[in-house]
Structure formats: C-alpha cells, structure tokens
Amino acid sequence: MAKQKVPMVKRSLFSWIMGPNTKLQLLVLVLIAITVFTRVLPLEMQKRIVNEAIRLRNVDLLVHYCAIYLVSVVSASLLKYLVNVLQVIISQRTLARMRKGLFAHIITLPLSFFRNTQPGLVVSSIVSELALPSNFVGMAVAVPLINLLTLVAFAGYLFWLNAWLAALSLSIYPAVVFLVPLLQRRVNLANKKRVDLTRRLSDKVAESISGIHEIHGSGAYGIEDRKVGAIVDRLYRIRLRWDLLRAGVKTSNNFFTSLGPFLVFILGGYLTIQGQLELGALVAFLSAQEKLYDPWKELIQFYQAYQDGMVSYNKTMSYFDAEPDYALTPPDRPPLDIEGKVTVQNLAFVTGDGLKLLDDISLSLKPGDHLALIGFSGSGKSTLAQCIGQLYAYTNGHVLFGDAEVEELSKQDMIRNMGFVSQTPFIFDGTIEENLLYACEAMDDDSQQAASRPSLDDKIQVLHQTGLFTDTLRFGLNTIFNPGQDDHLVEQLIRVRRSFQKQFGDSLAEYVEFFDENRYLYHSSVAANLLFGSPNRERFKGARLVADTYFLDFLKHAELQRPLIELGADLTRQTIDILGNLPPDNLFFEQSPIAPDELETFKALNLQTQRRKLHQLDEADRAKLLELALRFTPGRHKMVSFPHLLERLILEGRALFKEKISADDPEAFSFYDKEQYIFSQTIQNNIFFGKTTTTNVKAQDKIVQSIIHLLIEEDLLETIVRIGMQYQVGGKGDKLSGGQRQKLAIARVLLKSPKLLIMDEATSALDNKSQARIQNFLDSRLKGKATVIAVVHRLDIIKNFDQVAVMKAGKLMEIGTYDDLMAHKGVLYELVSGRQ
C-alpha cells in the first residue's frame, strides 16, 4: 500500500531539512569537516612561529609556518563561503517549495474558509512569513554543526595546551547558556504577538483598500485611520519590546565573550611569567579565545533563527490547517465522463453558525434540460446552484450528477463535465486568449492530445456566440506594431489601405479626413499639420515640442515663429471675448483650444498682450502663446477663426521641416506616406490613413464595418481577431467594461462545452441586447445538448426554460413549466404579476 502523503500544513519544520535537500546537506557535512581542521591549524602555526621560528631566529621555519598559516586561512575562508552558498541554495529552494506547497493547499480549501480569511493574511503568509522558516532550514545542518565542531576542536586544542587555563577561559559559557535562553523565551513571546499583530495590520489594510469605494462614498477616512492607527500603535509597542529583548540577548553574549580575554590575560600572563606556559601557547590561547566568539555568536543567532522560524512556521501552518471539502483527483482511475442528468433529493445546507440556507430541496433534470431558478434575494437559489456545482458541501440529502453522488466525486470529475459562471466573475491579469482558455487548460492533463484543445475557429465561434467578437476585433484594430514585427502583414495592411480609400473614400469623406501631403488637415492640430508624421523621439512629443530648441530654431528659420505667436494671441483674445465671463464648465469649452482650468492664466496673458507688443513679452508668456497655437485644431475649435494665409505658410513649412529633419535626424519621424506603414499608429488608423472627424457612434461603426468588409476580402479578419485576443485586460480585467468581463467569463466556460452549465445570474451585467443574445444561444444551441441550471433575475426570459423552480427562504415553493405554474396561479404567478 502506498504511503499516504502528509498534508503541507501537517509537516513539521524539521521535515524540510532533508528530503530533496539530502545530497546538498551531505556535501555540507564533508565541507564542514575540512573547514574545522583549517580553522584549528592556524592556532598551532601561531604557537610554532613564536616558539620555534622567532625564538630560534629561523627564517626558513618562519616562511614555512607562515605559508601553512596563509593556506589554512584562505582555505577556511573559501570553504566557509562554499558552505554559505549551499545554505542559501537550500534556503531558497525550501522557500520556493514552501510557497508553492502552501499556495497549492490554500486554493483547494473550501469557499467557506475564505469568508473568514482576509486576502492580506494569505499574501503575507506566502510572501513574508515563510522566509524565516526557510532561512532556518538552510542553516539547520551547516550552522550548528560547523560551529559546535569548531568549539569542540578549539576547546580540545586549548586543553591540550593548558588544562587549567582552558577550563578558566571556558567557564563563562555555562552562564551564557543559562541566561541567553531565558531572555530568548521572552523574545519568542514578543515575536508571537508581533506576528499576530502584523497579520492583523495586513488584513485591515487589505480590507480598507478593497472597500476604498465605500470609504470614499461615506467619507469614512477618519474611521479607517483610527482602526489602522490603533493596530500600528500596538504593533509599535510590541516591536519595541521585541527589539529591546533581542538587543539584550546580543549585549549579554558580547559581554561574556569580551570577558574571556581578560581571564586569559590574568592567568595566562601569570603562568607565562612563572615559566609554566610558553609565550607561543599564550598567543595561541588569545587567538583561540578571540575566535571562540564567532562560532558562539553564530550559534546564538542560529538559536534565534530557530525560535523565530518555528514561531512563524507554526503560526502560518495553523492558520491554514483545514482540509478541502472534496478530493482533488479521483483515486486510481481517470476522471469520469458523466451524462448531464441531475437529481436533487431532500437537500439541506446548514452553515457553521447553524443558519439553514436550504431545506428539503428535491428536483430532477434529464440530460439537456434547462432549469431556471428564481426567487427573492436570499431565497437560496444561488446556494442551491453552488451546492449542485460542488462549490459548497451540502450537509444533508443527496445531489446526483449522472448516477454519482456529487460529494463523492473529485474536483477533476466535476470540472471535466461542469462549467460554472458567477454573477461577478473574476478575470485574471493577462490576455483575452489566456482568460478564454482558462477553463479548458484547468481540465487539461498530460494525457490529452493537443488536437483536442480549442482551435482558433473554436475561439472565434465562442466570441461570436457571446457577442465578444466585435470587441476583440476592435482591440486588434487598435494594436500598434513594432517595426519589423510582421512585415508580411504590414504589406497586406497597406494593400487594404489602398482598397479602403478606393472603395469607401467618397462615402466616408464626411467621417474621415484622409492624410494628404498637399492638403491642410482641419481635424488635426497645427503641430500635427506642420510635422505631418509621428515622432519617434520623446523630445518631439506633446508639450515637449514647444520647449525643444531644434524645433524652435526651425520655426525661426521658416519664419513661422512670429505668425504662430500672433495666432496664439488671437486665439487668446477671441476665446476670452466669448468665454471670459462664463463659468469654467467643460460644456462651454468643448470648441475652444483653451481648457477651463487654463482660463485665468490666459486672461492674465490677454491683458499682457494688450499692454505690450508681442516681442516685449517674456519668454514664458511667448511659449504659452506658441503652445496654444500649436494645439489649435480648426475642425474642432470652431468658435475661433483660422487665417488662410497661415494655412499656406504651414503647408510650405511642412515640406521644409521634412527636408530638414530627414537630413539632420532621419529616424526622428515616421512621415505619413501612402506606401509606408506608420508603426506609431494603430492598425485601424493605418488602414483609413487619416483622422475621424466625428465621435458619432454610428459613424464609427460605419468606418469599422467598412474595414471589416475589406479584411474579409483580404482574408485578414481572423488574423486581426487573433491579434485582438492578445489584448492585455489588466488586473482583475480592469481594462474591460463590466459587460465585456461578463461575456468573457461566459465564453471561457462555453469553450469547454460542459455537460452541465450552471449560471449564477451570469448575464446580470449585460445590456438587454447582449442578454437576449446569450439566452437565444442557450435556447437554440444548447437545448437538448447540455443541461443548464440558471439563476435568473429577469422574469421575462424564463418562458423558454424546460422547468422553472421558485424558491423562498431556502425552500422550493414550486417547480414545473412556465405555462403550468402560471396556470396554477401560485408563487410564480404572484412574482410575474408584481404581487408579494
């Protein structure tokens, strides 16, 4: 019978010392044996150098003994370094194994465990608290062994030199052995309190950050400050006591260690004067006494590391000493292939606090049936769905999936055959594709062939089914390539660009202002018109442009600086005349080049321009006027006029700037060229090669639909979607909207094609159109193929379900078809009719 594996949280700290580290620990033992010898040898050499080489004035002996001394010291240092390297390797390997093992254990614990466990506790336990135990494991063999053997070797050598002097010099250590553990026990007690309070602080900070919206909404800054402040103050006092006690341990050790040389001088000096001890032996004694401090200090530090590590390890393991509700893998068999039949018999669920959430629930579903669970909030419908899906362990009754009891199935059995979508699904940091494949990869194992995993067509199909295809396509179209990333695709996109202007240039002319080297772009800024390209240097981007000396010199050379500053002054004057007396509201400033928060600044600047000539203004004011002129966009800032003469000057300056910068710094800009791909722009911008002139949603959709038409013609649609699936969704999917997150969660479950699909208000975050799309897919594609249990919050979508179950206060009030229940005029009839 195979030996049962000890759970991670049941392992003792000492069990980590050997195991996978055995070979390294044995190597440490060999190195220690050599190291101890190389530590003692220099003491004998010191004695011989004084007693023989110096006393006899023998230079050859002096060189010989000094050489041995040097080799011993160098060897001891190198060997100690190698031992330290092995300690670090063992420590870090153990830390990695502890972290992986503890994390693997924690994520299998029941959901009820996490109701009472803050994320901060889990984070601090894995990231911080395991460092001390792993450090102890790295030291466990090397530090006590090398230092104890060194002490024994030194003591033996000293007794060999002179027993009385050795006994006296070592007499202080029993006192240290008694005093240090006494202080250390107090250190340990303070350390336990420190660990507990540190975790409480971590939990409280994590809770506050998680509830930051509520804190801001309630203005509860003071409440949270006081809660955290009280814990910080207590932690300050505990840490102060802990550090002072640790300092006491160190000070006591240093005092007794420094007392040793005094005793050697007193007795050793007397014996040497009396001729009872050789001078070389006294030198060796003094040297050995000094060297005794290092191994003793390391032993004290090791004892402290052991105590700290033991406290931290035991505390951490005790926090997570719980067992999963279900076996993770089936015993000695492959995962079951289960038909989609579901039978619930007399099901009850009682919480640990004695609260009965489900009471005597019974229902039955044939494979392919669709069941809607409805009821008021708190009726138990979500709890029922979670018990069927093995997310909660029911306390009484039976749930049969196929012909197997759910509580007897392993988690792997369930995930092979069941998919679950919650009301608030979690989206992981990564790409859309990684999240899409998450459920499929979770049920993969080494025995599966790659051919059985979802293909690109499967992914695109499920994106269509959930309505996420258009969003993913947009992500792809908004992708920016790096130069040389995909030359073949770049050539295809340039070909699409030509086709776009040829086929849709006229029909989209009112929505898109196409780039044309010989025309002024009214929906681009003055700076964009002048540069007519995308800068590759940071110095030419945004607000930096107006401060760049190269650009300013060019404006002077092209005789554009004065006209642009005059334009800035005119824009200031016209804007102040129109908006100067209005409140600084964004609504009034939508068509102005001056932002509301800049109004007062430009009011003051307008007064300056009225009192002084432009050339008399200081450089800062002239720079403000120039910056305002450069960001002026005639097509958007319609409340002020744009001089036609300046338009012609800018077009001439455009050609001059391109010629000059191309000669001075050819890589500085990517100029707009119909035959060149613009790597600083998105795929979509490269295709229509211009700027949109409106934010109208219908216009944007018309542009996108035109691009899609061409992508289909060029057989590039799937390629762009595949690029879109590489979009990084951000932490918790925060770069996606709530609806997009919900669609992605549904898509990743549908991709695995489960026999049983449980949806816990899974469409609640979707708009009506998207929700209808999902429901239509369930009705048309999954009816009869997959069993669906849906917790539903909208009563207008339950008519097509095979059965409707109405719940109230944890009880199943009625179940049947929609028509039968409505005809019966029971609880469902009351809900639909709006009666209680």
pTM, two decimal places: 0.74
Q: Is 591 helix (H, G, I), strand (E, B) or coil?
A: coil
Q: How confident is the model at residue 372 (pLDDT cuts 50, 70, 90)?
A: very high
Cβ neighbors of 708 (< 8 A, separation 6 or more) are 473, 717
Q: How confident is the model at residue 433 (pLDDT cuts 50, 70, 90)?
A: very high
Q: Roughly how many angstroms between the first and final C-alpha of the chain, as a whole number? A: 61
Q: How confident is the model at residue 341 (pLDDT cuts 50, 70, 90)?
A: very high
Q: How confident is the model at residue 8 (pLDDT cuts 50, 70, 90)?
A: confident
pLDDT tens by residue, 725-749:
999 999 888 999 888 999 999 999 9
d(CA 688, CA 681): 11
Q: Is 760 helix (H, G, I), strand (E, B) or coil?
A: strand
pLDDT tens by residue, 467-509:
999 899 999 999 988 877 788 899 999 999 989 888 888 888 8
What is the dihedral sign for C-alpha 522, 523, 526, 527?
Answer: negative
Cβ neighbors of 808 (< 8 A, separation 6 or more) are 375, 376, 379, 827
Q: Are strands 533-535 and 669-671 parallel, antiparallel or unpaired?
A: antiparallel
Q: Specify the residue for token string 């800068």.
A: 535
d(CA 368, CA 190): 61
DSSP state of 590: T
**pLDDT of 775:** 87
Of residues 627 and 615, the one with the higher pLDDT is 627
Q: Is 416 helix (H, G, I), strand (E, B) or coil?
A: helix
d(CA 717, CA 476): 10
pLDDT at residue 353 tops 90:
no
d(CA 32, CA 86): 12
Q: How confident is the model at residue 511 (pLDDT cuts 50, 70, 90)?
A: confident
**pLDDT of 1:** 37
Cβ neighbors of 330 (< 8 A, separation 6 or more) are 336, 409, 410, 412, 413
- What are the counts of helices (DSSP H) followed by strands (DSSP E) for the chain? 32, 14
Structure tokens at 375: 């009821």
Cβ neighbors of 38 (< 8 A, separation 6 or more) are 72, 73, 75, 76, 79
Q: Specify the residue for token string 């969704």.
A: 729
pLDDT at residue 62 tops 70:
yes
Q: Are 106 and 50 in contact (CB under 8 A)?
A: no
Task: Please give the average per-residue pLDDT across 189-195, as a whole number.
Answer: 79
pLDDT at residue 120 tops 60:
yes
What is the average pLDDT score of the chain? 85
Q: Are 708 and 499 in contact (CB under 8 A)?
A: no
**pLDDT of 806:** 94
Task: Please give the average per-residue pLDDT across 759-777, as a whole number.
Answer: 86
Cβ neighbors of 774 (< 8 A, separation 6 or more) are 466, 467, 746, 762, 763, 766
pLDDT at residue 279 tops 50:
yes
pLDDT at residue 182 tops 80:
no
- Domains identified in the chain and CATH numbers: 8-319 (1.20.1560.10), 342-471+727-835 (3.40.50.300), 477-534+564-695 (no CATH)
Q: Specify the residue for token string 């250390």.
A: 184
Task: Please give the average per-residue pLDDT across 294-303, as a whole number.
Answer: 76
pLDDT at residue 802 tops 90:
yes
